[in-house]
Amino acid sequence: MTYGSPALRRAVLLANQTIPKAGLAQLTWGNVSGIDREGGFYLIKPSGVAYDELTEDHLVPVDLETGKVLAGDLRPSVDSESHRAFYLAWPSIGGVTHTHSTNAVAFAQANRDIPVLGTTHADTFNGPVPVTRTLTPDECATDYELNTGRVIIETIGDDEAAAATPAALVANHGPFTWGATPQKSVENGIILEAVAEMALKTLALNPNASTPAHLQERHFKRKHGPGAYYGNPRP
């Protein structure tokens, strides 16, 4: 049995292939998933398969409730349980991306939030991109990937908060991003990496840099919410 509509399978494959194209990860690092809410499962990259060999047939269907693989011989990405935690916590999301993109990882390893230093950040993230607390020895010893998801949910909050800031940094690890679709989640990963690089350079030039709250709000609201006016409808 094949899980997922042709559109979902295509979307998850393309979003995974975007990771190396956008320079967000090396080797087989990183993974994207996309969910079928009605079917109660998500499709995720298999563990350890090279991006240039990845096909739709490799995508692993995972049961949303149990975390069990529904078909095939391939193991899902080791981060599957983190993805599952997000889908269960945040009903409005449709895709999740994890990468080890360099500049976002630098903030994660420094245990620092990415502060809002300009409009590029404010266009997508409604406030600093937070870094989680460090996982405890117990959280690392048992259900590590599930606890990684949980610590992000603890940091971000509810579904509305997840939609407003679709990214977080796991302390000493790296970024997770999410969105309404798999492609949106990987786009948020690209934006996050660009914003992290800009922030590092800005802080090197001026460690006290900041952005006024009214400018942040203007930029976030022109792209999000009832008064949004950025872009054009697709033909």
The H-assigned helical ranges of 29-113 are 80-89, 102-109
DSSP string, 194-221: HHHHHHHHHHHH-TT----HHHHHHHHH
Evaluate whether 185 touches 160 at the Cβ level (below 8 Å). no
Residue 230 a catalytic site member = yes
Secondary structure of residue 91 in the 3-state scheme: coil
Residue 51 a catalytic site member = no
Angle, alpha carbons 25-162-113 (nearest 5°): 60
Catalytic annotation, pick one of 123, 143, 144, 158: 123
Catalytic annotation, pick one of 57, 158, 159, 230: 230
Secondary structure of residue 3 in the 3-state scheme: coil
The b-or-e profile of 64-87 (16+ CB within 10 A means b, else e) is beebebbebebebbebbbbbbbbb
Instruction: Note the Cα 132 to chain centre separation in Å.
Output: 14
Q: In what order do the strands lie in the sheet with 60-63?
A: 60-63, 41-44, 31-36, 95-98, 174-179, 167-170
Secondary structure of residue 224 in the 3-state scheme: coil
Evaluate whether 184 touches 95 at the Cβ level (below 8 Å). yes
Any idea which residues carry the catalytic annotation?
A: 123, 230
